[in-house]
Amino acid sequence: MIATDRSELTVQVAEHECVRDEKGWHYMEKDRRRNCRPARPEGKDWTWKCEAKRCGWWHKKENRWNDA
For 55-68, how does the pLDDT look when each residue is reduced to its tens digit (9 = 90+)? 999 999 999 999 75
Task: Indicate if the pLDDT at residue 5 is higher than 90.
Answer: no
**pTM greater than the 0.95 cutoff:** no
Q: Is residue 51 part of a domain?
A: yes
Residue 31 has what pLDDT? 92
Q: Is residue 10 part of a domain?
A: no
User: For the chain, how many structural domains are there in total?
Assistant: 1
Residue type, 22: E
At 6-54, the pLDDT tens digits run 566 665 655 788 998 888 899 999 999 999 998 899 999 999 999 988 8
Q: Is residue 50 part of a domain?
A: yes
Where in the sequence is the domain holding 64, given as residue range(s)?
40-68
CB 25 within 8 A of CB 16: no
Q: Is residue 17 part of a domain?
A: no
Q: Is residue 55 part of a domain?
A: yes
Q: Is residue 63 part of a domain?
A: yes
Q: CA-to-CA distance for 30 and 27, rounded, in angstroms?
A: 10
SS3 annotation, 13-49: CCCCCCEEECCEEEEEECCEEEECCCCCCCCCCEEEE
**Per-residue pLDDT band at 3 (split at 50, 70, 90):** low
12: DSSP letter: P
